[in-house]
Amino acid sequence: MMKESLGLIDAHLKEEGISRRDALKLFGTGGAAALMATGTTGCTGTSSNAKGKILIVGGGLAGMATAAGLTNALSNPDITILEPNELSTSYQPGQTLVGGGVWTKDQVVYKRDDFLPDGVTLIKEKAVEFDPDNNTVKTSGGKTIKYDYMIIAAGLKLDFSKIEGLGIDQSITATGDYSAVSKVLGKNGLASIYYQQGSEDTWKEMQKFIAEAKSGKKVKGIFTHPNTPIKCGGAPKKIMYLTDARLREAGARENAELTFYPNGSNMFGVKEYHDAIVNQFEARDMKWNYRHNLVAVDPEKKIATFNRHWEEKGEWDEDLEEYSIVPRSEKVEVPYDFMHITPPQVAAEEIANSPVGSGKGWVPVKKETLQHVKYPNVFALGDIVAVPMGKTGGSARKQYKVVIENLIAVMEGREPKAEYDGYTVCPLITSLSTVMLAEFNWTGKPTPSFPLDPTQERWIWWLLKVYALKPMTQYGMLSGRA
């Protein structure tokens, strides 16, 4: 499969006038380069003799990749990972493809223990109490772990409980126990690709929706984006594009109205990608309503309630010589036949309420070095970290190398010099054969790796998304070498 996939990618690159060698230069140390290259090297190139007890909180993609990279980079590593979930390393970016019926759930499920680096100690518990002043962490099993250096890569939680009417009273993780949400989601037209079982259920519910449209019934599908930071900001739109594509495939698109309800006021934070998505929506007759935050659902009546919010010009302020801005809002009820919910997403309480957390929950770091703002022997990365953007696997791929280099610098008594530039990549699936590869960083401008218009949907990026990125993650990033 890998050889065939790379052959297809090579052929398309040739059509674009780009050789694989040139592609590798363009991607630099990026994931696609690591995938297409014939060999790989460790993050630092040479082993460090630095010593110290390293504790990694979280054994998902970010945490396990960091453990693997440190194992490669240190001559005598002493690393412990805290991770209770046996499926923590599962390939979450693939859940969109499961939700669209392109993959099956078993294609994204990875077992944590299969990716534990040699020599790394695994404790199958979670951190419940942090004492960074004394360099200790208490676990759910009652252990107290002493560390010299700590890396927090605990991910985030999906908080469906913030939506009234669902009857959900607790948050869940993407790959953990989903029993708290299973009584209401995955049935009666309600779906979410954001947790593993939910992705499989999304495809089942989408097929029912398509069958209704194919029968001649006029149906409505709605797709939400909440008022919190979320992992993979493009995913709410990806599943909408795939619903559109499946309806067209079934010859039933004209019977379905598809509407996107984002809390924000644009499609994408980067203008060029925003403009491209608006054009794509218009071409597909997909509708949208900005500044709508989902606050309640009536699963029986199939009615979603949004808080529609906006600002109005108020009274003239003579001192400031400007008009005041008055926030306004109203509740809006919207009927649906199929609704994909992107849940509010939060940091775990044990982190948010600890000395290493923050008022908003996320772990505060210096955004370039990923070193904690208060505790120099603590670093953080992945979905839990408080940086302006970047809750994606592509961001974690860049971040973990920065953390490794800077942690080793601190261990060796040097200043951390490696910098994360905010790079994020979102392979925005736009159909069953095209992807727009949205790459950007803190400049707020597109940062494409290839000399191709990044706002264009391309078959080559579909091949990259469907065939190349998963093995790159599995054999590259989780080995600490990509």
Q: Which residues are known catalytic residues?
A: 232, 426
Considering only CA atoms, which of 306, 166, 287, 175 is closest in space to residue 237?
287
> What is the C-alpha separation between 370 and 367, in angstroms, rounded?
5
Helix and strand tally (H, E) in the chain? 12, 22
Q: Is residue 445 within 8 Å of residue 394, measured between CB atoms?
A: no
Q: Is residue 463 within 8 Å of residue 457, measured between CB atoms?
A: no
Please give, one letter per residue, the 3-state secondary structure of 279-314. Answer: HHHHHCCCEECCCEEEEEEECCCCEEEEEEEEEEEE
β-sheet bridge partners, residue 314: none
Q: Tokens in use for 398?
A: 């860049």
Percent helix, strand, coil in the chain (nearest 5)? Answer: 30, 25, 45
Q: Is residue 373 within 8 Å of residue 365, measured between CB atoms?
A: yes
Beta strands of 44-154 (E only): which ranges? 53-57, 78-82, 121-123, 127-131, 136-139, 144-146, 149-152
